[in-house]
Structure 1
Amino acid sequence: MIDIHNHTPLCKHATGNPEEYVKKAIEKNIKIYGFADHASMEFDEQYRMSFSDMPKYEKEIKSLKEKYKDKIKILLGYEVDFTPYVDKRVLERNVDYLIGSVHFLDNWGFDNPEFIKEWHNRDVDDIYEEYFSKIQDLAKSRLFDIVGHLDLVKVFGFKPKKNIKDIAKNAIKEIKKAGMAVEINTAGLRKPVKEIYPSTKLLEMIRDEGIDITFSSDAHKPEDVGYKINEVIKMAKNLGFSEAVYFENRKKQKIKLT
């Protein structure tokens, strides 16, 4: 099992300590476990680590990697918000992978419950179009290895009238061109939408384009580690996926789904 997108208390909205996450992963028989905490940037600083925390974060994860090397493979990454505030101090870190995510449309944190009222002030189709245009730009940037929670925009259950496949097709084609992987992220099952990211419809497009997949629980507390990943691996196999990937030193590694 793979679970490569997980957080630590350094992001200021997760609980538990990193070793508790690792122990839970071992308990759940996860073989490849990755930390990808919210990367530093000079924006939305209350929901991410500070730049001064990055060495501490990396040192702690590398220490856990060594301590538990006989029980589990631990990987080090960052989840990076694709905004004008992306900082080269993050992009230049010596890590296994970078997950690129879109949480903001301009300065609106559309997935933050604090700002949910804004959904009622805009056309939902327009929001989706803008969101997937940002995903397309994220892929064009060639800065990242993995696309995080591809259809996060659905988090509160607002759905477009337009066909999602039409809205997302250009973004998915750009992801293919970039050679990126897409995570199947189970966190959506814990959110109001009660769905994995991305949806089955989008996974069908990803399969048809031959885009690589990986898996994550996006845990913000130890209890969420590995959340329903066994079920989504089975679902992925039923959809026709036979392999998954992870990254070491920014290099893609493939494994068979068994």
Structure 2
Amino acid sequence: MHSHHSHSGDYCAHGVDPLNSMIDRVINLNFQTYCLTEHIPRVESKFIYPEELALGKTSDDIITSLETSFKNFMSHAQKIKARYAGKPDVRTKFIIGTEIESCDMVHIEYAKRVMRENSDILKFCVGSVHHVNGIPIDFDQEQWYNSLHSFNDNLKDFLLSYFQSQYEMLTNIEPLVVGHFDLFKLFLPNDMLVNQKSGQCNEETGVPVASLDVINEWPEVYHSVVRNLQFIDSYGGAIEINTSALRKGLKEPYPSKTLCDLVKKHCGSRFVLSDDAHGVAQVGVCYDKVKKYIVDVLQLEHICYLEECQPPQNGISLKKLPITRFVNDPFWTNI
């Protein structure tokens, strides 16, 4: 079993447990592959989260603290990887990567430099979008609304901007794993009224957003998604099925079935699995539910996972695991 995306309380302000405690849980669950992917630091003061204000007296202090924390993560992750590499009784292979911050082009260029300068440690990245129009969309409901307000409360324009930001990240980084593809849905209010033609919200002519398939509702949005998936396909990237949406109360993981069907059509049906854990209790979270989603809803023939090349080769490859082996993995007896 695999997870390609994780965080910890040691190196993430909204993480809740030490990394070593999470690793103990990973090994006890008998994961085959577990990827360590703390966030690359944000390097501009306007992108500092409220939860990070305690990290320093000034913005510069906070940014320095984030950069130091990331260096400490890389060192810690290497020790974990080395500690378990030679233990025959531990099945888990650890791969070190990072989740990039694609707030803007400054951060995209910074991520490229960090990846390049630490290529001996960071073997891949999870490419994600957490901001739309410079405003975080997964921090809380208020910030999500602030982002929507910046588009004059037009959901179609909001989505187009989200997928355009994703495209800029994709074309500049070419991340091997694309994280929580439809993160925008986390705080999307089901009862918000949306005009089906214009995308304008809270109009009397609107219908509840829960009754819409927002990807297929507007051709411009649909074509943006297909464009992004076709580009991911062009360089061999994979789409993450992320179970954190389920633990946060959504009905589907990231991405939705609508988007997964498009991945099957336009991106070679290349999916990897992630728990996006931020603490011990979230390791392998909702994997029992996502197994049913993968097998019964999506009816996938295989799931992909990352494997690090053995010396003297230096790199990483995307492998396919047949669903018959996936459902019979010894991991499931521990979950």
Give the TM-score normalised by structure 2.
0.70
Matched, 1:3 2:68: no
Are 1:164 and 2:193 matched, yes or no? no
Q: For the structure 1 residues 252 and 234, does the alpha-carbon distance in structure 2 shift closer, same or farther, using more than 3 Å as the test?
A: farther
Secondary structure of the residue aligned to 2:97 is strand
Q: 1:22 to 1:8 in 2, by over 3 A?
A: same
Render the CA deviation track for 1:201-247: whole Å, top value 9, x for unaligned: 11111112214211111111110011122432443244223131215
The match for 1:81 among 93, 97, 101 is 101
Alignment of 1:8-87 (within 5 A): 8-9=8-9, 10-43=11-44, 44-46=47-49, 50-69=66-85, 70=87, 71=90, 72-82=92-102, 83-84=104-105, 85-86=107-108, 87=110
Structure 2 residue identity aligned to 1:7? H
Question: Does the 8 A contact of 2:98 with 2:125 survive in 1?
Answer: yes
The answer to whether the aligner puts 1:232 opposite 2:290 as a matched pair is: yes
Shifted more, 238-247 versus 21-30: the winner is 238-247
Give 1:108's aligned residue: 135
Aligned-CA RMSD value: 2.3
Which structure would you say has the larger RCO, counting Cα contacts within 8 Å and 6 or more residues apart?
1
Contact 2:245–2:253 (Cα < 8 Å) also in 1: yes
Q: Which stretch shows the higher mean deviation, 242-251 or 77-86?
A: 242-251
SS at match of 2:14: coil
Aligned AA (2:75): K
Q: Give the Cα–Cα distance (whole angstroms) in 2 for the partners of residues 123 and 227 of structure 1.
A: 34
**Cα distance in 1 for residues equivalent to 2:84 and 2:289:** 26
Aligned-pair distance for 1:8? 1.8
Q: Among 164, 167, 178, which residue is 1:136 paired with?
A: 167
Structure-2 change in CA distance of 1:61 and 1:14 (3 Å): same
Moved more, 163-172 or 71-80: 163-172
Do the aligned residues in 1 keep the contact of 2:133 with 2:147 (CA within 8 Å)?
A: no
Superposed CA deviations along residues 55-95 of structure 1, whole A, max 9, x for unmatched, are 31111111111222331111111000222223144222221
User: Per the alignment, in what secondary structure is the counterpart of residue 198 of structure 1?
Assistant: coil
Structure with larger Rg: 2
2:148, 2:158 within 8 Å by CA — same for their partners in 1? Answer: no
Separation in 1, partners of 2:70, 2:137? 26
Task: Name 2:201's counterpart in structure 1.
Answer: none
Structure 1 range deviating more: 171-180 or 214-223: 171-180
1:120–1:135 distance in 2 versus 1, CA, 3 Å:
closer
1:253 to 284, 301, 318: 318
Q: Which amino acid aligns with 1:157?
A: L
Question: Which of 98, 101, 124 is the equivalent residue of 1:97?
Answer: 124
**Secondary structure class of the residue paired with 1:15:** coil
- Residue of structure 2 in register with 1:154 after alignment: 185
Q: Decide whether the 8 Å contact of 2:124 with 2:176 is kept in 1.
A: yes
* Identity, % of aligned positions: 24
Q: 1:183 aligns with which of 240, 248, 251?
A: 240
Contact persistence 1:142–1:178 (CA under 8 A) = no
Could you list the per-position Cα deviations for residues 31-73 of structure 1 after superposition, in whole angstroms to 9, with x for gaps in the alignment?
1111111111213344597222233111111111122233111
**Structure 1 contact 156–193 (Cα < 8 Å) conserved:** no
Is the contact made by 2:174 and 2:237 (CA closer than 8 Å) also made in structure 1?
Answer: no
Q: Is the deviation greater in 225-234 or in 74-83?
A: 225-234
> Which stretches in structure 2 are left out of the alignment for 5+ residues?
53-62, 190-208, 309-313, 326-335
- The alignment partner of 1:81 has SS state of coil
Which of the residues 230, 233, 238 maps onto 1:173?
Answer: 230
Distance in 2 (CA, whole Å) between partners of 1:98 and 1:199 is 22
Contact 1:96/1:247 (8 A) holds in 2 = no
* SS of 2:293 mapped into structure 1: helix
Contact 1:97 1:247 (C-alpha < 8 Å) held by counterparts = no
Amino acid at match of 1:31: Q
- CA distance in 2 between counterparts of 1:255 and 1:20 reads 30
Distance 1:30 1:41, change over 3 A: same
SS class of match (2:38): strand
1:230 to 1:32, Cα distance in 2 relative to 1, 3 A: farther
Q: What is the DSSP-based 3-state SS (H/G/I as helix, E as strand, rest coil) of the residue aligned with 1:37? A: coil
Letter in 1 for 2:15: A
- Indicate the structure with greater strand content: 1
